[in-house]
Structure 1
């Protein structure tokens, strides 16, 4: 099972990383728990994780008007994890680009 789906790099998470240099945000599998997330981050990035905070987001209903009428859909639900690393450790997301 794939625990970490992708890192979340937005304005808010970038500002959070500037304020707290050792805090990173990831989109994770909805059924993953904090221990699994911690082990996956430690294995993938070779860092020491101090804490993991998780958030579950519900899917949202969306609708838009087109020439053919009203189209309805749903944005998928997802889970987000904020990982705090040990002091002095960092993750470079742009190293593999």
Structure 2
């Protein structure tokens, strides 16, 4: 599937674990489009944040069963990419 660069990265994952990894190991977690691959994720992160990516790990999360009153349903499935940057580089999300 041909994705535009702006469609690949959806949002950063902001958790305690992600914050700890970004401080210690220069690893950042992003929620990405389910059809995106590692090459697309790498080029999007490098262009958006002007950094050098050395490694990418991805994981697919399946939706969980939830209920709204008597109506059963599923939460959305999603994909997370953990991006490791070159030593000494950081991403500032406040800009």
Q: Could you say what secondary structure the match of 2:41 adopts?
A: helix
Q: Tell me, which stretches of 5 or more residues in structure 1 are unaligned? A: none
Q: Distance in 1 between matches of 2:49 and 2:20?
A: 21
- Counterpart for residue 40 of structure 1: 44
Q: Distance in 1 between matches of 2:22 and 2:49?
A: 16
Whose helix proportion is higher, 1 or 2? 2
Q: Tell me, which stretches of 5 or more residues in structure 2 are unaligned? A: none
Return the offset for 1:61: 1.1
Q: Could you say what secondary structure the match of 2:88 adopts?
A: coil
Aligned pair partner of 2:64 in 60, 67, 89: 60
Return the offset for 1:64: 4.5
Aligned pair partner of 2:32 in 18, 28, 31: 28
Is the aligned partner of 1:14 residue 2:16?
no
TM-score (norm. length: structure 2): 0.88
Whose strand proportion is higher, 1 or 2? 1
Alignment length (residue pairs)? 90
Q: Distance in 2 between matches of 1:60 and 1:39?
A: 31
Is the aligned partner of 1:87 residue 2:87?
yes
Q: Distance in 1 between matches of 2:73 and 2:21?
A: 32
Larger Rg: 1
C-alpha root-mean-square deviation of aligned residues, in Å?
A: 1.1
Runs (4+) of structure 1 exceeding 2 A deviation are none
Q: Could you say what secondary structure the match of 2:87 adopts?
A: coil
Return the offset for 1:19: 2.6
